[in-house]
Amino acid sequence: MKDSVLILSGGMDSTTLLHEMADRIALAVSFDYGSNHNARELKMAALNCDLLGIEHIIIPLAFMGRYFKSSLLSGAEAIPEGDYADANMKSTVVPFRNGIMLAIAAGLAESRELKHVMMANHGGDHAIYPDCRPEFARAMSEAMRLGTYPGITLLDPYVNLTKGEIAERGRRLGIDYSLTYSCYKGGDHHCGLCGTCIERKQAMQFAGITDPTIYDA
């Protein structure tokens, strides 16, 4: 049943998918693309894979940090504060990030004779991130299927769930969310004010989880 590659950031969503689908995940792949919070996320990704005995690799994508424009790549001071519904959060989009990562993951899956790539995009991402939307996921899955000999496809079981609903799954699985990192500013503690911190707080509250996260605000 080990038939999939998972794209794993080290945040709440992909870590939940890692635990929920552990029996199907042959390989978890993380990408070092130069974001403010990459280093802290990657540590959490490696830690959770080690806990579950799942192979984990990190692929460097330094060109994205060098050539792409996004506040997520420009230092903590560039990150806007506020809810994801706010228009200024569009500055955190890293252009076609998921498309690039999915293409690489599809190559890994084919190279390892696996059938699927998994991604933890969810409903809360749709307003801001074009490469998290269901239409994109369907189109990318079809491109992967047509562009690989075994017909690799994308599995995105959270695409229509909220982050709170994902956190509920994590609560039932007994996931320790202190072993995840979300903050776009990338500090020692979560800032508590950026969109992803606000969403993290709301998800924990929705799921009835006592939030183990240390926030600066």
* CATH number of the domain residue 111 falls in: 3.40.50.620
From CA 12, how far away is CA 165, in angstroms rounded?
A: 12
Residue 113 lies in a domain: yes
* pLDDT number for residue 77: 87
Helix (H, G, I), strand (E, B) or coil at 162: coil
Residue 186 lies in a domain: yes
Name the strands in the sheet holding 4-7, side by side, starting at the edge strand that comes first in the sequence: 55-60, 25-32, 4-7, 116-118, 153-155
Regions of the chain with pLDDT less than 70: 84-87, 126
H helices of the chain, where? Answer: 12-20, 38-52, 62-67, 97-111, 134-146, 163-173, 195-207
* pLDDT number for residue 123: 85
Residue 214 lies in a domain: no
Residue 99 lies in a domain: yes
Domain of 145 in residue numbering reads as 4-207
* pLDDT number for residue 85: 64
Residue 9 lies in a domain: yes
The model's pLDDT over 119-151, given as tens digits with 9 standing for 90+, comes to 999 988 767 889 999 999 999 999 999 999 999
Residue 167 lies in a domain: yes
Q: Which two tokens stand for residue 83?
A: 């809810």
40: phi then psi, degrees, rounded to nearest 5: -75, -40
